[in-house]
Amino acid sequence: MTAILCALLLSGLPRHDTCHAVAAEAQRQGVPVTVALAVGWQESRFNADAVSKRGAVGPLQVMPHHHPGDPLEQGVAKLRRLYVKHDGWPLALCHYACGNVCYPAGERYARRVAARVLWLSLIVPAPSAGLSPPRVL
């Protein structure tokens, strides 16, 4: 399943290893693979070496001074924590993008990620990894 999802997302980009690593970490931490893959696509197109203008690093673009350690592991852990804290994906994804306050830009981000999750789920239905996948907002 992961190979199909990564192939669909990447369509020619040479980042299959990072895509598979995101999926494996999501499975390990009980986060829906489709959610982690959609965030990885939105944040960096699975570029493991990505560094934003503000200093966020890795395929899931986490701030190293807030989340020390492996950026991939910390990014998935952050998704899980936000899901639990906000009791679902809409606010979790908004806060993933914006931090402590859910701004309109974060709401748009959450809708884009949720739409990609839906697209991935329609193509390859994924078994639940513990947390419910988001609905389109």
For residue 8, tell me if it sits in a domain.
Answer: yes
For residue 9, tell me if it sits in a domain.
Answer: yes
What per-residue confidence (pLDDT) applies to 1? 62
For residue 135, tell me if it sits in a domain.
Answer: no
For residue 17, tell me if it sits in a domain.
Answer: yes
Name the pLDDT band for 16 (thresholds 50, 70, 90): confident
Contacts of 12 (CB under 8 A, 6+ apart): none
- pLDDT tens for 31-75 read 999 999 999 999 999 899 999 999 999 999 999 999 899 999 999
Q: Which residue has the tokens 């804290």?
A: 85
Q: At what angle do helices 33-44 and 2-10 cross, to 10 degrees?
A: 20
Q: Which two tokens stand for residue 24?
A: 């494996």
* The total number of residues written for the chain in this structure: 137
The residue with greater pLDDT, 97 or 6, is: 97
Give the range of the structural domain holding residue 64, as residue numbers without chain letter: 2-123
Give the CATH number for residue 56: 1.10.530.10
**Which of 126, 127, 134, 129 has its CA nearest to residue 27?**
129
For residue 132, tell me if it sits in a domain.
Answer: no
Q: At what angle do helices 16-29 and 33-44 cross, to 10 degrees?
A: 140
- pLDDT exceeding 70 applies to what percent of the chain? 79
Three-class secondary structure of residue 100 per DSSP: coil
For residue 128, tell me if it sits in a domain.
Answer: no
> How many domains does the chain fold into?
1
Question: The pTM is what?
Answer: 0.84
Q: Which two tokens stand for residue 20?
A: 């598979």
- pLDDT tens for 119-133 read 888 776 555 445 565
- pLDDT tens for 71-89 read 999 999 999 999 999 999 9
Three-class secondary structure of residue 51 per DSSP: strand
The answer to whether 102 and 85 are in contact (CB under 8 A) is: no
